[in-house]
Amino acid sequence: MILAAYSTPGPTTGKDPKRDYPKHARWAIPLAVAIHGAYVTTSYMLMMMAMSFNTGVFITIMVGLCIGFYIFRPLESSNPFRIVPVPAS
């Protein structure tokens, strides 16, 4: 009886439209994997640099991250001062 509360009403197709890529965009999956790999590698490299406990390197990383966030931040409204959090992957 507990499982009945979590079941979806009506028939489902089993397809998620957000994950159903068109046939002409199949190259998007390897590209997304490559971008994610570069992101994770860069994140770990920055973490290892920060863990070196070199104050100059740490300050440089923080300033670079702040400048990068300011330049490339996602904006969903016309308000340039509204910060929209990016969902974690």
Q: Between the ranges 3-7, 34-38, 66-70, 76-80, where is the mean pLDDT highest?
A: 34-38
Domain count, the chain: 1
Report if pTM > 0.75: no
- Please check the confidence at residue 71 and state whether its pLDDT lies above 90: no
- Please check the confidence at residue 31 and state whether its pLDDT lies above 90: no
Looking at residue 67, what is its pLDDT? 92
Looking at residue 15, what is its pLDDT? 65
Backbone angles phi, psi at 7, to 5 degrees: -80, 155
Residue 36 burial class via C-beta count within 10 angstroms: exposed 0-12, middle 13-18, buried 19 and up: exposed
DSSP classification of residue 89? -
Query: Residue 55: which domain range?
Result: 22-83
Please indicate, yes or no, if residue 1 is contained in any of the structural domains: no
Percent of the chain with pLDDT over 70: 54
Please indicate, yes or no, if residue 8 is contained in any of the structural domains: no
Please indicate, yes or no, if residue 75 is contained in any of the structural domains: yes
Please indicate, yes or no, if residue 73 is contained in any of the structural domains: yes
Please indicate, yes or no, if residue 4 is contained in any of the structural domains: no
